[in-house]
Structure 1
Amino acid sequence: MSKDHLHQIAIVGCYGDGNVGDESILQATTQFLRKSSQNQVKICVLSNNPEETRNIHGIEAILTLNLFKPSHWYALFCKGKLWAILQTLRRSDLLLMGGGDLLRDDIGFIAYIGVASAAILMKLFGKPFALWSIGIGPINTRSGMALTKWLLDNAVFAYFRERKSLERAQVLAPNRDGASLFYYPDIALFMDPPLTLRSRSNKPPVLAVSLLDFEAAGHRTRNIQINWQAYLVHIKQLIRQFLDEGYTIHLIPFDPQDIPFLYLISADLNSKSVRTYSQCMTPDESKKALSEADAFVGMRLHACILAVSLGIPTVAISYDRKVENFMSGVGLTSCTLRLENAASNLNIENIHTKHLYFAQAWPTISANIDSIHQEMKSHLGQILFRAICKYE
């Protein structure tokens, strides 16, 4: 990229909501953009909480609103927020839409097209947009399918974080150049570590746990046939087994919805060896908290991703295909439990076996992840540069 001109890249996704996973995607993305451009890039994020985004990531952010949601129209049209969005997009050389499972309408078509509207506006301005570290979720309506196909057909490139999403995209957009649709693991896997990570030599050992409040998850878990109360009993029994072995337990939330749920578990356990984090942290803080653990058990996708990136023996409880897709994508299928089958497998012997497998397989898996990262940096850097220069 030319040093005489700072290119501006806009990013739209589910940012500013306090979800550690989404913020990890954003942090890893900004790190990647800065490195690949040698800091010759300006970044502006369309965020649900611009002040928080600026404070956490040190980048420019503006308030994003849903153009198709009546409750947002007053701010958009009477308070000038629409003008700020339009100006940001018109000044941008490229829009990245992602990451996460944004291509889905099971949360409602209005919510889906609200996120996609930035891409539609970029197209109207004659500017490029790309799909970034993205997944395809459930699409239940004709309108949702039409919008998904339009996004796939018009994006300058699409980087999918799951092979299955890539395969689905190839079916939905059969006329696309195959080189412009590709797979790499979730960008958060390659997030730079915090500045200070201490080696794990804990006495007593620490088990980090990140659980999803499945009742609050709504669309994520409604199709899973499971007795939630029985599952909760098994989770508590598992944690008690680790406590009996002398472990300290760290309950780490990755979404604000999970905090009351984790406190409920902590209260029932009633042990001084259980530490519950009282709020969601920044990506760096979350990664540092995980780095203090000797082992990890979790449901939240990005808690699993950050734990794996640190080489912490990880067992993922898959409540959504994206969790098992990530684990299989990095060669850790054996360290995954499907939620439907987890209750019968949530015992300390099984978890120890999977943690041991992780530790033994880690040198090979780590080398493979490093190799993917090197390929990704070269490939994506070139594609980003070409996407911007093509439209200059």
Structure 2
Amino acid sequence: MFENVLVGVSFSSDNRGVNALGIGALIRLKQNNQSNDVTVINFSKEEKIVEHDIWMHGSYKKVKVYHFSSKTLLKALSALWFNRFPNKLALIIKQAKTIYTVNEGDSFSDIYGLKRLLFWCFIAMLPIIGKKRLVFLPQTIGPFNTFIGKMMSKYILKSAQVIYVRDEQGKKYLEEGSISHTLSCDMAVFMPPKKVLIEVPEKCVGININGLLYYESYGIIQGRYSHYKKIIVDLIHEALKNNYKVLLVPHTYNVNSPGNEDDLKATREIYDSLRHPDVLIIDSDYDAQELKYFISKCEVFYGSRMHSCIAALSSTVPTVGLAYSYKFTGTFGLFNQSQWVFDIENITEAEIPAFIIKITRIFDDLQNIKKELIDMKSEMEKKYLEGK
């Protein structure tokens, strides 16, 4: 009943990139295993079973997600270790053949704090203690800057049967540790778009505004993106000057209760400041697949959230990554598009005009870029995660 178990994903996060990762992984696993038997496990404060309607193969499919608490996780580890008093989570692991983990895409690292890494290490220990097959689906792995992080991650990675990594830096880390691995694309590539009955105008430039960079709300990035807002505004003006319409697309947001790094909140501020008839905004509660549909209809896309860029690249839309992390380079590289990744950290106001010229040069080669993306997508779709 629980032959294949998928953990470390979400279908209801404010971060549509995390949702896209989960949907793509689920679809790919079902295709690879030629079976509907994929059990999804999530961890939250409230223990419950939730059914989600996921758009797959042209229709909605119901996907059941088991939510367990951290307390239940610890009890399951104990039950598997001592082989007694199994709870529901331990029973699922005992019946499983393979545990697939995504770790939310980039949480198998201590850059977000040791507490968060240990949480995901405990989850990875479930199949190890239960003597089950552990597979790391494509994700960012590392860096590990603490002694405990290095020791725990090395033990778990060496215990895994299969490891896929989605970027060159993670690949380098695994090579240095002599850990077997395969470089592969992010699973969000395989998430299909879902049509929305709203027309995107022709000759439209899509732009994703990252609330994290706009508000510089996260400690380690404060002061590094002081001119991000001006870059976005100048980019919009450049598109309008060249007779393009602009579609502003948030990718991590909550319509009803925005957080302090909410894309839509930042996007509305830009939109309200411009009030231009050719600047359009996505400001309703669309899911990851619907947002991918909007993005797929753009002629060119500029993204500051990596998964908004993945939505564009996997839809064969010529894309520029306005990057704040090395993750962008690895992902764009898999599409042979690494030349269109631009680091925007610490750009000065004086450098912005030249920067705008540089990132708008993509319009000079749209036809060739489009062809290359079509070829790369076709190649990715022919490969399977295992046995390729």
- Same fold by TM-score, threshold 0.5 exceeded? yes
Question: d(CA) in 2 for partners of 1:305 and 1:240?
Answer: 25
Cα deviation for residue 216 of structure 1 reads 5.3
Q: 1:340 to 1:366 in 2, by over 3 A?
A: same
Preserved CA contact (<8 Å) 1:259 1:278 = yes
TM (norm. structure 2) is: 0.81
Cα deviation for residue 23 of structure 1 reads 1.0
Cα shift readout 1:118-165 (whole Å, capped 9, x = no counterpart): 221222222222111111233221111112101211111101111221
After TM superposition, the structure 1 = structure 2 runs for residues 176-195 of structure 1, keeping only pairs within 5 Å, are: 176=179, 178=180, 181-194=181-194
Two-structure CA RMSD over aligned residues (Å)? 3.0
TM (norm. structure 1) is: 0.80
Cα deviation for residue 254 of structure 1 reads 1.2
Which residue of 336, 340, 344 maps to 2:345? 340
Match of 1:90 in 2: 94
Which residue of 199, 207, 210 maps to 1:209? 207
Cα deviation for residue 295 of structure 1 reads 1.3
Question: d(CA) in 2 for partners of 1:302 and 1:142?
Answer: 31
Give the structure with the higher percent helix: 1
Question: d(CA) in 2 for partners of 1:279 and 1:62?
Answer: 28
Preserved CA contact (<8 Å) 2:121 2:153 = no
Cα deviation for residue 266 of structure 1 reads 1.3
Cα shift readout 1:24-59 (whole Å, capped 9, x = no counterpart): 111111111111222252322325597776234631
Q: 1:359 to 1:336 in 2, by over 3 A?
A: farther
Question: d(CA) in 1 for partners of 2:172 and 2:252?
Answer: 29
Which residue of 352, 363, 369 maps to 1:361? 369
Paired letter, 2:30: R
Question: d(CA) in 1 for partners of 2:54 and 2:116?
Answer: 25
SS at match of 2:243: coil
Question: d(CA) in 2 for partners of 1:355 and 1:91?
Answer: 53
Cα shift readout 1:69-111 (whole Å, capped 9, x = no counterpart): 99xxxxxxxxxxx944333333322211105112211212111
Unaligned runs of 5+ in 2: 56-61, 75-85, 254-261
Preserved CA contact (<8 Å) 2:225 2:347 = no
**Residue 10 in 1 paired to residue 5 in 2?**
yes
Preserved CA contact (<8 Å) 1:68 1:114 = no
SS at match of 2:107: strand
Q: 1:341 to 1:353 in 2, by over 3 A?
A: farther
Q: 1:146 to 1:279 in 2, by over 3 A?
A: farther
Match of 1:390 in 2: none
SS at match of 1:239: helix
Match of 1:249 in 2: 246
**Residue 28 in 1 paired to residue 24 in 2?**
yes
Paired letter, 2:171: L
**Residue 116 in 1 paired to residue 116 in 2?**
no
Paired letter, 1:353: R
Paired letter, 1:297: Y
Of residues 14-23 and 27-36 in structure 1, the stretch that sits farther from structure 2 once superposed is 14-23
Question: d(CA) in 2 for partners of 1:306 and 1:275?
Answer: 19
Question: d(CA) in 2 for partners of 1:315 and 1:191?
Answer: 20
Preserved CA contact (<8 Å) 2:27 2:190 = no
Question: d(CA) in 2 for partners of 1:217 and 1:11?
Answer: 31
**Residue 61 in 1 paired to residue 59 in 2?**
no
SS at match of 2:34: coil
Preserved CA contact (<8 Å) 2:167 2:331 = yes
Paired letter, 2:204: V
Q: 1:355 to 1:41 in 2, by over 3 A?
A: farther
Question: d(CA) in 1 for partners of 2:241 and 2:352?
Answer: 18
Q: 1:232 to 1:281 in 2, by over 3 A?
A: same
